[in-house]
């Protein structure tokens, strides 16, 4: 027995290197086999749609895990792995992607980014929606928070792609799909954007419908700025159509006798009801200011600036409220321009002549009713009269030769008196003015042409 022990103690240390050599040989013989099986198993799945695919090989046994998007797809993938030559056993750890009920997807825009969230049914559709967003949003940062889920309605991808195109028309907001119901909220980026989105929604795939559309239009803004230094009236913003555009520019030309009209208006949908009816009298109010700004935003009219004298400020405030259509709001912020320095009678006459050379006091045809378009010019004449408080002023009315001489004489007198009454109503003393009518007796141009007749129909201020 003792001899046997001595003999065994001599050979067992040699077993250790043999085991190591055996393990090394076994590893070198199975490693290429496992790599080959892994490559062929992966290749067998190239036409299947899976997510989170993992393949582990131990000898000829395969552990296969993945998320599948349908039961048929899952079974087909497992069968493909089992059919790989050399595979002995497949440990199936596949599962179905969770089903979303309801199936919700969304695109949300803030100031700096668009976030795509919710669920998509396939990785390829997810990638496509990201591509559509990046292509249509012109460099806006696109954040992907979309997950994968089963349960998408038919034609989901077409509906989502169409809605991504609409998110580009928003300044901010959210568009979402819940099963086949579409909801929208937010603010359109441009005027007409709300209407463009509504038109696009008519092309949603069959089966989809709009459950809520709360897209708001940006404020519909019209602005006019009277600049006394540049002697301009600048019109900016929007008008509803070309006809209103032309009417507003023509009205501005009549009311602003001295200023050059700079027309930067653009036509766009979305104007509130009564737009032109509100803007035209508001332009008349602006014409009476020394300098000022008119802002029409939706149904609000805001007028700010300096009236030429104290009584004018009150008249402008009251007139703005009276002339604006019902349902509109007015915000007059009218101050009074500091009084200009007094001048002598000679300078006063020159100032009157300069003003009346640039504009004419207009009347209704054949009547002594002053046209409201002349309010801006009349306020300038009143401001000048205030600068020469001791001067007596003759207001002279003249007509052309059309019609009866007696009628023309009477009309010229009545028109001169209407102007004198306007000045007295503004707070000037009545004894400073003398209304005189000269009919057609003092023409300044030929009465043989329409242009000459227009020049002869006039009011003159003569400082006595």
The 10s digit of each residue's pLDDT in 231-244 is: 999 999 999 999 99
Query: How buried is residue 165: exposed, middle or buried, by Cβ count under 10 Å (0-12/13-18/19+)?
Result: middle
pLDDT of residue 192: 87
Which of 15-19, 49-53, 251-255 is least confident? 15-19
Residue 270: per-residue pLDDT:
86
Residue 311 CB neighbours (<10 A): 16
Tokens of 186: 């937010």
Percent of the chain with pLDDT over 70: 94
What pTM, to 2 d.p., does this model score? Answer: 0.71
Cβ atoms 234, 224 nearer than 8 A: yes
pLDDT value at position 139?
83
pLDDT at position 2 over 70: no
Q: Which is more confidently placed, 197 or 19? A: 197
Across all residues in the chain, what is the average pLDDT? 91
Between 253 and 4, residue with greater pLDDT: 253
Beta strand 89-92 with 95-96: parallel, antiparallel or unpaired? Answer: unpaired
| Cβ atoms of residues 66 and 51 within 8 Å | yes
Classified as helix, coil or strand, 371 is coil
Q: Residue 86: left (phi > 0), alpha (psi -120 to 50), or beta?
A: left
Q: What is the pLDDT of residues 40-70, one digit of tens each?
A: 988 988 888 888 899 999 989 999 898 888 8
- State the pLDDT confidence band at 276, using cuts at 50, 70 and 90: very high
Q: pLDDT at position 25, please?
A: 40
Q: Which two tokens mark 227?
A: 């600049």
Tokens representing 107? 């695109």
Would you say 187 and 216 are in contact if contact means Cβ atoms under 8 Å apart?
Answer: yes
| Distances, alpha carbon 224 to alpha carbons 218, 234, 303, in Å | 19, 5, 10
Rounded Cα distance, 435 and 415, in Å: 9
Q: What is the pLDDT of residues 281-331, one digit of tens each?
A: 999 999 999 999 999 999 999 999 999 999 999 999 999 999 999 999 999
- Whole-angstrom Cα distance, residue 424 to residue 418? 10
Contact 157, 177 (CB under 8 A): no
Higher pLDDT, 336 or 19: 336
């Amino acid at each position: 027995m003792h001899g046997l022990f001595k003999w065994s103690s001599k050979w067992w240390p040699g077993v250790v290197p043999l085991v190591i050599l055996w393990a090394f040989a076994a590893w070198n013989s199975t490693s290429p086999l496992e790599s080959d099986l892994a490559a062929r198993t992966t290749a067998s799945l190239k036409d299947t749609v899976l997510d989170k695919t993992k393949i582990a090989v131990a000898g000829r046994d395969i552990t296969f895990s993945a998320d599948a998007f349908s039961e048929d797809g899952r079974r087909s993938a497992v069968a493909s792995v089992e059919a790989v030559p050399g595979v002995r056993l497949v440990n199936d750890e596949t599962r179905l992607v969770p089903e979303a009920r309801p199936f919700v997807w969304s695109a949300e825009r803030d100031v700096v980014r668009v976030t795509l969230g919710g669920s998509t049914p396939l990785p390829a559709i997810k990638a496509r929606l990201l591509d559509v967003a990046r292509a249509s949003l012109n460099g806006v940062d696109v954040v992907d928070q979309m997950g994968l889920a089963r349960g998408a309605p038919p034609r989901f991808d077409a509906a989502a792609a169409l809605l991504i195109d609409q998110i580009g028309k928003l300044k901010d907001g959210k568009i979402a799909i819940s099963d086949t119901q579409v909801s929208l909220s937010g603010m359109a980026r441009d005027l007409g954007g709300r209407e463009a989105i509504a038109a696009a929604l008519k092309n949603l795939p069959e089966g989809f419908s709009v459950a809520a559309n709360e897209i708001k239009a940006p404020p519909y803004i019209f602005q006019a700025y009277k600049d006394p230094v540049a002697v301009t009236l600048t019109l900016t913003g929007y008008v509803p159509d070309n006809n209103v555009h032309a009417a507003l520019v023509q009205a501005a030309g009549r009311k602003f006798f001295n200023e050059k009209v700079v027309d930067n208006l653009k036509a766009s949908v979305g104007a509130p009801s009564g737009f032109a009816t509100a803007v035209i009298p508001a332009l008349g109010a602006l014409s009476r200011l020394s300098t000022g700004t008119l802002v029409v935003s939706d149904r609000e009219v805001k007028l700010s600036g300096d009236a030429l004298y104290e009584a004018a400020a009150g008249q402008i405030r009251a007139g703005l409220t009276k002339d604006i259509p019902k349902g509109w709001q007015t915000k007059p912020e009218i101050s009074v321009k500091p009084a200009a320095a007094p001048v002598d009678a000679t300078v006063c006459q020159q100032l009157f002549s300069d003003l009346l050379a640039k504009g004419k006091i207009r009347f209704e045809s054949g009547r002594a009713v002053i046209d409201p378009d002349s309010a801006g010019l009349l306020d300038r004449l009143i401001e000048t009269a205030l600068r020469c408080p001791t001067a007596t002023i003759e207001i002279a009315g003249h007509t052309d030769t059309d019609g009866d001489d007696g009628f023309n004489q009477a009309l010229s007198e009545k028109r001169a008196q209407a102007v004198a009454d306007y000045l007295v109503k503004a707070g000037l003393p009545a004894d400073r003015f003398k209304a005189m009518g000269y009919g057609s007796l003092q023409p300044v141009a030929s009465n043989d042409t329409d242009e000459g007749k227009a020049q002869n129909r006039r009011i003159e201020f003569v400082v006595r």
